[in-house]
Amino acid sequence: MLRVRCLRGGSRGAEAAHLIGAMLGRAVTGWVQRAFQSTSIAAAAQPRHAAEDVTEPEQQECPVCSYNEWDTLEEVIVGRAENAHVPAFTVEVKANTYEKYWPFYQKYGGQSFPADHLKKAVAEIEEMCNILRHEGVNVRRPEPIDWSLEYKTPDFTSSGMYAAMPRDILLVVGNEIIEAPMAWRARFFEYRAYRPLIKEYFRNGAKWTTAPKPTMADELYDQDYPIRTVEDRHKLAAEGKFVTTEHEPCFDAADFIRAGRDLFVQRSQVTNYMGIEWMRRHLAPDYKVHIISFKDPNPMHIDATFNIIGPGLVLSNPDRPCRQIDMFHKAGWTVVKPPTPLIPDDHPLWMSSKWLSMNVLMLGEKRVMVDANESTIQKMFENLGIKTIKVNIRHANSLGGGFHCWTTDVRRRGTLESYFH
């Protein structure tokens, strides 16, 4: 088993200690040479000290380190529902939402989500944070921002949306935080809510990468994307046609899911092949990115379709079967089909499906945060020998995410390993 430990200063891998010495040597060479002449006389005049007075730089743990979805969780970012606004009903939003909710977007686009519903969502997420703290997890939050402000670029005009789903915008791979470029115009400046946190992590040793920001010009979207019926969606998805084009790279971080040295990703309405290729080149050669696909009429974010919950253990949505599932069976993985969600039909899910029931957050290999209302999936986890931490975020679900979506794990207690052969 390969063991890798994150060290402050951005080093990664088993060779980290050696690299730190080499990096320090290169960094100080220049100023040592310049300073040598001015200090040599003074140094010669000083008494010689014993060798034990010379100490090497202390190696400290990096505050960011996470390789998979299930190691023991130590620190997490939890999103905010405060000030959340409904995105304008643009072509990319229409392609990612269900027809039954189109009148809602047409009525509320650019305005706040219904105030009473939002108030309940805020309270639920606060309680979720309290429970995470009780489970020994350090909780961090993005900055509150006024998302109603309109902004204009050379290519489009929009207002903002929210900072509710950090999983959509931030991907942690080892000791690196990757900011996703996103694909919705309403989310163009969403990163601003997370910048104070990311700068803090960077100052304390984490790597920080911002993927190329798309212009989100009209060319990024198929303006004539035909999505009148579910049948349309199935046909288009089967043909590999999506509302986002290959005009420039775009991706949401939530279309990737991690299992050590292997990451799995889907081409979706918000993640194109150029975005996937950028990530593949960026993470090579230490990590391998695998493209997988599903029988899904509206692919957007992988973690309510295919959620890896342990080493060689994955939840696979039975309504959206994975076309490459055989390769997981051949690798010796256990594929579990979660039960049908229990959420009632009349509960609003403006940005997602009922399958948020499987959008769980692993607090460790044997602990999971799960919907308090979903008794059947609780039983499934108990049969797998996994303790359930039951939390109710039913109103928060309406904003487009479950526990996995509402969080980004910053630090997990684990090592870099290979689980997929």
The residues assigned a catalytic role are 252, 301, 405
CB 113 within 8 A of CB 85: yes
Quick one: 184 exposed, middle or buried, by C-beta within 10 A (0-12, 13-18, 19+)? buried
CB 414 within 8 A of CB 371: no
Tell me which residue of 56, 51, 57, 72 sits closest to 9, measured CA to CA. 57
The rounded radius of gyration (Å) of the Cα atoms in the chain is 23
CB 289 within 8 A of CB 342: no
CB 145 within 8 A of CB 83: yes
CB 75 within 8 A of CB 138: yes
**What's at 122, amino acid-wise?**
V
Residue 88 carries which DSSP code?
P
Give the list of residues 6+ apart from residue 170 with CB closer than 8 angstroms, or none.
77, 177, 178, 179, 180, 194, 198, 253, 408
Neighbours of 278 (CB within 10 A): 18
Distance CA 128, CA 360 (A): 13
CB 264 within 8 A of CB 241: no
CB 359 within 8 A of CB 308: no
Residue 114 carries which DSSP code?
P
